[in-house]
Amino acid sequence: MAEPRILLVHAHPDDESIETGATMARYAAEGAHVCLVTCTRGEEGEVIPENLRHLSGDALGEYRVGELARACDALGVTDHRFLGGAGRWRDSGMMGDPANDDPRCFWRADLDEATAALVRIVREVRPQVIVTYDANGFYGHPDHIQAHRVAWRAFERSADSSYGEGAAWAPSRFYATAIPLSALEPEVGRGPFDRVGSVEEFGFGVPDDQVTTRIEAGPHLHSKVAAMRWHATQITVAPPYYALSNNVGIPLLDAEYYTLLAGEPGIPGEDGREAGLSHPVA
Ligand SMILES: CC(=O)N[C@H]1[C@@H](O[C@@H]2[C@H](O)[C@H](O)[C@@H](O)[C@H](O)[C@H]2O)O[C@H](CO)[C@@H](O)[C@@H]1O
Ligand SMILES: [Zn+2]
């Protein structure tokens, strides 16, 4: 039986650990081929540690490449690539940021070029499963929205034998990261960081009925936390919470959640949701 192969498409160095770290660690530990594709080096990020605040632009991007390499080690992930090669597309900044207008940024990427670059990886890795964000990019960041657009186009075009070079490959399922609002609501007004006054202030979360899949973190939560700690320019970790540079506390949940956007659902777990991403492969 062929090994499960999962391809994850993330926008910046840090997203992979924050949103899918336990999932990646679990499947890597179970012997699956976990391939991470990161679309930018995170050159526009705000830097938390005082002693690293001199880093910006390309220097910050290069530093975050190193953070990402160590985070992948912590997750047991050995196949990591930058879409188009490291630095091909730059971090676009938050929606409305002047960096959105930089012609080198991912938000301004030529969709055909970016899609072709991802199809080459999909046809090489031949994943049964692709994971990225929903059409809103999980929380509206332009690079996240673009990652969804490129990944969805690549999911469709990789299966089209008349498209591009190499043998066509049709991944079976396409998932978007998600967090059910019911998991966030109990955390309003709690934790050691700045506290939100309402669940809407987190800036992400979906109605529970949009969540199809729940991956229990279990022992892999430790790997996720270790990986997040390596992204020290972006994340402060104080389990069971973490904060980004805005110091707003976010819960470190004991599960990671997804919405199945394409493909047949798998066997439901105890809560009625899928308990796994991949499925027996021929
Ligand atoms: C998790 C994630 O996508 N982080 C992005 C994000 O970072 C946020 C941004 O700097 C914002 O201005 C801060 O208030 C917030 O605290 C940060 O998390 O956007 C960055 C710029 O595009 C990106 O580098 C970072 O990876
Ligand atoms: Zn991001």
| 12 is annotated as contributing to ligand binding | yes
Q: Which atom of ligand 1 is nearest to the CA of 143?
A: 22
245-to-46, 71, 83 alpha-carbon distances in Å: 6, 18, 25
Closest alpha carbon to 223 in 49, 30, 93, 85: 30
Residue 229 near residue 235, CB atoms below 8 Å: yes
Q: How far is the CA of 117 from the centre of ligand 1 (A)?
A: 25
Does 240 sit behind a cis peptide bond, omega within 30 degrees of 0 on the bond before it? Answer: yes
Q: Is the ipTM of this complex over 0.95?
A: yes
Q: So what's the pLDDT on residue 254?
A: 97
Percent of the chain whose predicted confidence (pLDDT) is above 90: 96
Q: So what's the pLDDT on residue 2?
A: 75
Place of tokens 């660690």: 25
CA angle 131, 33, 135 (to 5 degrees): 5
Q: Which atom of ligand 1 is nearest to the CA of 11?
A: 3
pLDDT at 281 over 80: no
pLDDT at 252 over 70: yes
Q: What is the pLDDT of residues 229-243, one digit of tens each?
A: 999 999 999 999 999
pLDDT at 1 over 70: no
